[in-house]
A and B are shown apart, each in its own frame.
Chain A
Amino acid sequence: MPDARHLIVDQIPHLRRYARALVGDRAQADDLVQDCLERAWSRMHLWTVGTNIRAWLFTILHNLHLNAARKRRNAPGLVSLEANGGEPPVRPTQEDGLEVLGTWQAFSSLPEPQRAAILLITVEEMSYQEAAAVLGIPVGTLMSRLHRGRERLRMLIRDSGGDRMEGGA
C-alpha cells in the first residue's frame, strides 16, 4: 500500500497537467484532480498492485470529467468550458512565441475527444493501448481521433499563417 501512495503522488503533477489542458480553467481543473484523488483513495483496495496505476488514475479522472461535463450540459444557463478555451492554461513565456499560442488556440477549438486523444499521446506520452484504455475506446477509434485532431490542427495553423515549414510540401 505505501507503494501505491508514492505512485499516486508521482502522478499528481501529470493529472493536473492533463486536467488543466482539458478543462482550461485552473481552479476547475484542480477540483477535478481532487475529486479524482478522493475517489482513487476511497477505492484503493480495488487497484491491483502491479497493474498500471497511471492508466487507472487517468481513467478515473477522465470519467469524472465526462460526468461533470454531462451535468453542465444539462444545466442551462451555465457557460460551457469551451468558452474560455482560447486562454492558455499557463502564462506563456516570451520564448513561446506566436506558434505556441496559435497552436493552443487551434487546439482549444478541437472537439474534446480529439483533444483528449492528442493530450494523452503527445503530452502524457502514453502508448496507444494505454490511452485507448483510459478513454474506454478501441485503439482504432483512438487512432482515428488522433489523426483527425492532428490534421485539423495542421490545417488551422497553416491557415492562420503560423506554419513556418521550411522547404514546405
Chain B
Amino acid sequence: MTTTPEAVRKAELHAYVDGQLDAARSREVADYLAGHPEAAGRVDAYRRQKQALRALLDPVLDEALPRGLKAPRPTRRLVHAVWASAAAVLLVAGCVLGWQLRGMAPDDATPGTAVAQQAAVAHAVFTPQRRHPVEVKADEEAHLVSWLSKVIGAPLRAPHLSDLGYALVGGRLLSAPEGPAAQFMYENAKSRRITLYVVRNPRWHGKAEFRFAERDGVSVFYWIEGTLGYALTAEMARSELFHVAQAVHSQLGP
C-alpha cells in the first residue's frame, strides 16, 4: 500500500466488498483497484467467498420451519397443540399477548380469564423444560423474589408448599399485556409440576375469589387480589388443585 492520501486501507477493501462505503469513496476504491491487481485479487476472493457461503446458506431461509423447533413431550396435549404448527414458537408468543385458549371454559369473562389463559400457556411452555425450567433457581429464592417484586412493582412472595409435597424449583420473568409477569414453579418427588403466575394491573382492585378453568387436563385456579392477578396451574384434578390453591391463597392473603 502507498502512503498517499488516496491510499486504500485494508479495512476499506472490506467495506467496499460489503457495500459499506459511500458512493464517492466507493468509486475511488474502484479506480484504485484498477491499478492494483493484488488488492483487486483480494476483493475478488472476498466476493467469491461471500457468494459461496450464500449459495450454501441461503436455502435455509426457504426451508419450512420444523414442526415445533423442539419436540414436545408427547403426553402433554396442550403443549403439543401449542407446538404443533410450523409457526409454533410465535404462536406461543402470540398466546401470551392475547391468543385465546380455545375450549378453555372459564366461569365468566373477568379480567382474570386473560390471566388464566396467559398462565396456562406459560405453564405449558415451561414445565416440560428439563434443563432450563426456570431462570433463577430456588437456591437463590431471596434474590428471585426481590428481583421479581422489583420488576413487577409489588412485593411478591413465593408460597411454601412443602406441606403438600411440593418444593420451589425457581421462577422466571415473563411478558404479559399488562406488563411484566412472574412465574414460580414447584415440583414434587414424582416430578409433577405446578406453576403460580402473577401479574399486576394498577387498575384492578380485586377481592380474592377463586375461579376455575380447565382444558385438556390442565386446571387453572385464578383470582385477583388488590392489583395482583394470580393463576395456579397444574395437570391435576380440580379438587386436588383446589387444596393447593387454598394453601397458596392463605399464605399470600393480606
The reply on B252 being an interface residue by CB < 8 A is no
Residue pair B18, A122 in contact (C-beta under 8 Å):
yes
The reply on B153 being an interface residue by CB < 8 A is no
Question: Which residues of B36-84 have CB atoms within 8 Å of chain A's CB atoms?
Answer: 37-38, 40-42, 44-46, 48-50, 52-63, 65-66, 69-70
Residues of chain B within 8 A (CB-CB) of A45 are 175, 179-180
Residues of chain A within 8 A (CB-CB) of B30 are none
Residues of chain B within 8 A (CB-CB) of A150 are 14, 45-46, 49
Which residue of chain B is the closest to A32 with respect to CB atoms?
B69
With A5-B94, A143-B11 known as contacts, the answer to whether A21 contacts B40 (CB < 8 A) is: no
Which residue of chain B is the closest to A9 with respect to CB atoms?
B90
Question: Which residues of B1-56 have CB atoms within 8 Å of chain A's CB atoms?
Answer: 10-11, 14-15, 18-20, 37-38, 40-42, 44-46, 48-50, 52-56
- In the complex, how many angstroms separate the beta carbon of A20 from the nearest chain B beta carbon? 5
> Chain B: residues with CB nearer than 8 A to chain A?
10-11, 14-15, 18-20, 37-38, 40-42, 44-46, 48-50, 52-63, 65-66, 69-70, 87, 89-90, 92-94, 96-97, 125, 132, 135, 172-175, 177, 179-180
The reply on A116 being an interface residue by CB < 8 A is no
Q: In whole angstroms, what is the CA distance A163 to B57 when docked? A: 20
Which residue from B14, B41, B61, B174 sits with its C-beta under 8 Å from A14?
Answer: B61
Residue pair B179, A107 in contact (C-beta under 8 Å):
no
How many A residues touch B, CB cutoff 8 Å? 57
With A2-B97, A41-B175 known as contacts, the answer to whether A89 contacts B60 (CB < 8 A) is: yes
Which residue of chain B is the closest to A140 with respect to CB atoms?
B11
The prevalent SS among residues of B at the interface is helix
The reply on A128 being an interface residue by CB < 8 A is yes
- In the complex, how many angstroms separate the beta carbon of A52 from the nearest chain B beta carbon? 16
The reply on A37 being an interface residue by CB < 8 A is yes
Which residue from B14, B19, B44, B53 sits with its C-beta under 8 Å from A146?
Answer: B14
- In the complex, how many angstroms separate the beta carbon of B16 from the nearest chain A beta carbon? 12
Residue contacts A-B, CB under 8 angstroms, 15 given: A5-B93, A8-B93, A12-B89, A13-B62, A17-B57, A37-B69, A41-B89, A103-B48, A103-B56, A104-B53, A123-B53, A123-B58, A154-B45, A154-B46, A165-B45
With A41-B96, A147-B14 known as contacts, the answer to whether A104 contacts B90 (CB < 8 A) is: no
Residue pair B57, A90 in contact (C-beta under 8 Å):
yes
Residues of chain B within 8 A (CB-CB) of A17 are 57-58, 60-61
Which residue of chain A is the closest to B177 with respect to CB atoms?
A1
Residue pair B56, A100 in contact (C-beta under 8 Å):
yes
Beyond A103-B52, A123-B50, 18 additional contacts (C-beta under 8 Å) are A1-B177, A2-B97, A5-B90, A12-B65, A17-B58, A30-B66, A33-B69, A34-B69, A34-B70, A37-B93, A41-B93, A42-B135, A42-B174, A99-B52, A104-B53, A157-B45, A165-B44, A167-B37
Q: In whole angstroms, what is the CA distance A104 to B59 when docked? A: 15
Which residue of chain B is the closest to A153 with respect to CB atoms?
B49
- In the complex, how many angstroms separate the beta carbon of A103 from the nearest chain B beta carbon? 4
Which residue from B14, B53, B63, B179 sits with its C-beta under 8 Å from A103?
Answer: B53
Residue pair A122, B50 in contact (C-beta under 8 Å):
yes
Residues of chain B within 8 A (CB-CB) of A128 are 15, 18, 20
Residues of chain A within 8 A (CB-CB) of B96 are 41
